[in-house]
Structures are given as structure tokens and as C-alpha cells.
Amino acid sequence: MTPPAAAAAPQVALLTSAGMGHLTPFLRLAAALASRGCGVTFITPTPVVSAAEARHVSDLVASSDGVRPLEFPLLPFDSSSAASTDPFFLQFEAIRRSAALLGPLLSSAAPRLSALICDVSLISAVLPVAAAVPLPTYVLFTSSAKMLSLCVSFPQIAAASLPAILKIPGLAEDLPLRSIPRPLRDPGNLFTTQFVENGKVMPHADGIVINTWEALEPATLAALNTGKVVPGLPPVVAIGPLLPEHSQPNSGGGDEDSLAWLDGQPTGSVVYLSFGSRTALSPEQTRELAAGLESSGCQFLWVVKTKKLDKEEQEEQAMEELFGDGFLRRVEGRGRVVKGWVDQGAILTHPAVGGFVSHCGWNSVTEAALRGIRVLAWPQLGDQRINAGVVEKSGLGEWPMEWGWEGERVLVQGEEIGRRLRRFMASPAAAAAKVKDETVRAAAAGGLESLIARFTKSRPT
């Protein structure tokens, strides 16, 4: 591919919000745009929620020519009266309230910007500011197309009281109310207010960019792009799969031991378990999962997280206390438990890994698809049930819906987990391998190039 000549190269600003689930697709998009000759200004609202986020951004800047960092200092925000205690939702709010300060940053950027790509959690606050510059503005939607269809139709649905079964216009399957993010069931929740405001303005953006692809969500993408979900939506540009960054010099390291351990395991034998960067199982469920892994007899690599944001952690709970006496000794050799950050991209690429028990954060789903690793979906919160539905429908994996979420069921017992894991690891891998083939084809199909062509067309004169 020949990058566009420098004079004609689009100059794109990327504005992310908070949390790895949001930051990750922005980092990948920035690297992908830069490698195709675009100038990229990567705007980071500061202070960030975790030092880890800042490390990931500096790694990107160090490893990608053509990416310039730009700090966006936020106004002080007193969150004591906000209708949420979630550190990530509070950061979204702090950024939204500082949006007016963004205007001068965007209009004084040099070279002059051709477009802004803004995180969906900020769009209703940012769109008027960018329009005043003026700057064409695209939304990056950081989850599945199925979740996007909920986002754009929700303002209308939520205008009346919420029914037990949600009908999203244009989609064949209904959505049970209990499968949508829990905060959305409370109209007063801060996240709901933001979600509704953002959903309402989506038709006014110049485009919606999303890390999915035709083969994974064909019907939903078609419904979105033919006005069946909401009339008047701008083009929904499926640019997926965004590829994991090539190197993570500072942020991904520190767990070479897991890769070395995987080297010693037979091909396809290991089940990898992770619930993402912000989901912690309860101590009781953690113990049951340990018991399930033990009784399954499977080889496993388990990333354990006990707090939503690790930096809040006062003291590491002793491993033995967490899992029950002697667990680590009994599984020695066939199981490995890691507490901390791992390079998930490298783990999923390792030939020893044959299955992935995942919370179904959207980045994790796309990474599993890219590698053809079958998924046992165990959604915990937020958009994860909606994404688990996509996993099941696409053939990438299975979803034991009866395991419930968010306290629907007090505990899933170790014995049941063990039985399910054994069956899962023994199941045929052909359907997931087919998803991989389609995903690799989608990566070569030029979704990103069509997005870049739009920037060139919509350039302000």
C-alpha cells in the first residue's frame, strides 16, 4: 500500500475517554491510521484514571511515527454529588464538562486538522464544540454493532417506561431488559443520562466508526446502514478487525513467564481465563472458579483480578486465602494463576491456547476472533451480555446463559464450572476456525481505507 503524499495526507485528531476498553481501540486505530500515512494527533484528557493508561499512550507515541500526543487538561470536577461512583463514568463526566476547552486546542492544531474521531461516551458534549471550529466529526463506537443499535435506539425506547423485552427496530432478535447494561435500567443514573444524550446526537455526526466487520455482524450492520434502526444515521463504517499493536514495550511486558509456561504445554490444551481490565469476580465466585478449574482437569492460565481499579487496592489478598487451602499446590504444573497485567494479544496467539473463558469485553471478542480461539462467554456487566450474544450467533463460542450475571444467581458452583469447562475444551474448534478465516479476510478488505477516503473528501477548505 502506498501512503498518500504528505501534502495531501489527512490530519486526524483522536479523542479518547477512559478505561482500557475505550483506550485500546483508539490506540489501535491511531497506529493503523499512522501506518497508512495519516497524521494523527492523539488527545489525552488529563489527569488520566490510571497510570497504566498514560503508559499505553506513551508506548504508542514512541512506536508509531506520525502520532503526536496532545494533552487536554480537564477542569476540576467535584464528583461527590454525581449519580454514580464508577471511576470511569466519573471521568467521562469530567471530560464532558471540560469540552468547551477543546475548541481552542482543535482550532490551533498544526498542521490543520481534517477530522476529529471522538469516543462515543463524549460525543454529545464534543459535537457542538467541533462544529464551531468547524471540523468534520466521527464517532468511534467502542463495542459491537449490536450494542450500537441499542445506543442509537435507546433514547426513543427510554422515552416510555422500559418493557421487559426491548424491540430494537430493524433487528430480528429482541433484547431482554435483563441483558442490557444495568445502569440503563435506572433513568437517574449518570451513565444513563450520558448514554441517552450521546445516542440522540449520533445522527448529527459525519460518520460512525466501529471495530466490527460484515461477516461477524452482517444483519445488524445492514439494518444500521439502511435506516432501519434509526432513520438519518450517518454511514456506519466497519473498520474491523483493528489489529493489536505490534509492541508494548512498557505496558505489555512483565509477564514473559506466562509465555514461557505456555511453551511447555501441548498445542491447543490450555484454557485462558480473563475478565478484562475492570471486572473483578467476588471472592466467593473466585473460589468456586478455582474449584471448577481443579475438578475440570484442564490445563489453564487464569488472570485474576480482585478490584475494579487495582490502584485502589490496599493490600494484596493472599493467594491461598483467595482460592482456598492448597489449590495452587494441587494444580502446580497444569495451571498457572497470574495477578496483574498480561499481554493478552501474545497469549491468544500462542499455539498452546485452545479456549478462552471471557467476560466478552468487545476488544477481547475481536482478539479471539482474529486468532480463531473458541470462547466460553461469561459476561459480568455492561455491554458484555449483548456481546456474548454476538459470540454465540457468529459461531465463535458458546454462552451458558444460566450462569446469570450481576447477582441474578448467587454463585455458579465449582462442580458445574468444571463439567462445562471439560465439555468446552473437548468441543470441536471448526466453527471458531471459520470465524478466524472470515476475520482475516475482513482485515484485508479495506474498511480503514474507505474511512481515510472520507477524510480526504470532507476536508474543510
Which residues are the active-site residues?
Answer: 22, 119
Q: List helix spans (H) across 207-250.
A: 218-225
- 303 makes contact with ligand UDP (CB under 6 A): yes
CA atoms of 254 and 161, how far apart (whole Å): 49
Say which DSSP state 109 is in. -
- 189 makes contact with ligand UDP (CB under 6 A): no
Element (H, E) at 327: helix 327-330
CA atoms of 78 and 429, how far apart (whole Å): 50
CB of 58 or CB of 225, closer to ligand UDP: 58
Window of 67-75, 257-265, 273-281, 449-457 that interacts with ligand UDP by CB under 6 A: 273-281
CB of 212 or CB of 364, closer to ligand UDP: 364
CA atoms of 131 and 140, how far apart (whole Å): 17
* Closest CB 340 distance from ligand UDP, rounded Å: 7
Strands (E), 241-361: 270-274, 299-304, 335-339, 353-358
Window of 86-94, 126-134, 201-209, 356-364 that interacts with ligand UDP by CB under 6 A: 356-364
CA atoms of 157 and 166, how far apart (whole Å): 8
| CB-CB contact of 177 with 163 (8 Å) | yes
Window of 18-26, 132-140, 393-401, 450-458 that interacts with ligand UDP by CB under 6 A: 18-26
CB of 11 or CB of 344, closer to ligand UDP: 344
Stretch 22-41 residues interacting with ligand UDP (CB under 6 A):
24
* Unique residue bearing C-alpha cell 504445554: 265
Distances (CA, A) of 374 to 172, 354, 360, 363: 25, 7, 12, 15
* Closest CB 331 distance from ligand UDP, rounded Å: 20
The whole-angstrom distance between residue 325's C-alpha and the CA centroid of its chain comes to 35
- 392 makes contact with ligand UDP (CB under 6 A): no
CB atoms within 10 A of CB 6: 10
- 288 makes contact with ligand UDP (CB under 6 A): no
Distances (CA, A) of 42 to 73, 326, 329: 14, 47, 46
Which of 88, 341, 424, 455 lies at the binding interface for ligand UDP (CB under 6 A)? Answer: 341
Largest CA distance in the chain: 69
CB of 39 or CB of 244, closer to ligand UDP: 244
* Closest CB 83 distance from ligand UDP, rounded Å: 22
CB of 182 or CB of 330, closer to ligand UDP: 182
Q: Please tell me the count of residues contacting ligand UDP according to CB under 6 A.
A: 28
- 279 makes contact with ligand UDP (CB under 6 A): yes
Which of 1, 7, 51, 426 lies at the binding interface for ligand UDP (CB under 6 A)? Answer: 51
Half-sphere exposure of 17 (CA within 13 A, CB side): 28
- 52 makes contact with ligand UDP (CB under 6 A): yes
* Closest CB 152 distance from ligand UDP, rounded Å: 20
Mark 306-335 with x for binding to ligand UDP (rule: CB under 6 A) and - for no binding. ---xxx------------------------
CB atoms within 10 A of CB 329: 8
CA atoms of 371 and 349, how far apart (whole Å): 6
Quickly list DSSP for 270-330. Answer: EEEEE--SS----HHHHHHHHHHHHHH--EEEEEE--SSSGGG-SSPPPHHHHH-TTHHHH
- Contacts of 322 by beta carbon, 8 Å cutoff, 6+ apart: 283, 286, 287, 290, 304, 306
Window of 72-80, 107-115, 227-235, 360-368 that interacts with ligand UDP by CB under 6 A: 360-368
Which of 16, 286, 344, 439 lies at the binding interface for ligand UDP (CB under 6 A)? Answer: 344
Q: Residue type for 299, please?
A: Q
| CB-CB contact of 181 with 107 (8 Å) | no
- 364 makes contact with ligand UDP (CB under 6 A): yes
Which of 41, 50, 198, 285 lies at the binding interface for ligand UDP (CB under 6 A)? Answer: 50
- 181 makes contact with ligand UDP (CB under 6 A): no
- 361 makes contact with ligand UDP (CB under 6 A): yes
Strands (E), 74-177: 115-119, 137-141, 165-166, 175-176
Mark 231-270 with x for binding to ligand UDP (rule: CB under 6 A) and - for no binding. --------------------x-------------------
Contacts with ligand UDP, residue ranges (CB under 6 A): 19-21, 24, 50-52, 55, 251, 274, 276-279, 303, 309-311, 341-345, 361-364, 367
